[in-house]
Amino acid sequence: MNLTYLTTSELSKVIKYDVRTIREQLKDSVLIEGRHYFRPFGGRKILYIWEHIQEDMMDANLYREKKEFIPMANGGVCYGY
């Protein structure tokens, strides 16, 4: 599977959010380390995994329509079927 890695600046252009918003509001609340981003070689640089972000953005839209979920504090949801 080929994954697309984006810097914060590149991600901001794709999802139309300001770089500062990504760093201060989305990172570690909506975008989770290990799922949506990682730090190559344990350094300070962050690379975002576009396919995982895109998948979760689409899933969030689908579940909002169902209205059968409970929002969780960490940004996730608990689904009631």
Please write the tens of the pLDDT for every residue from 14-54. 999 999 999 999 998 889 999 999 999 999 999 999 999 99
In sequence order, the 6+-apart residues with CB closer than 8 A to the CB of 49 are 3, 4, 5, 35, 36, 37, 38
Cβ burial, residue 76 (10 Å; 0-12/13-18/19+): middle
Rounded to the nearest 10 degrees, the angle between the axes of helix 50-66 and helix 8-15 is: 40
pTM of the model: 0.72
DSSP 16: T
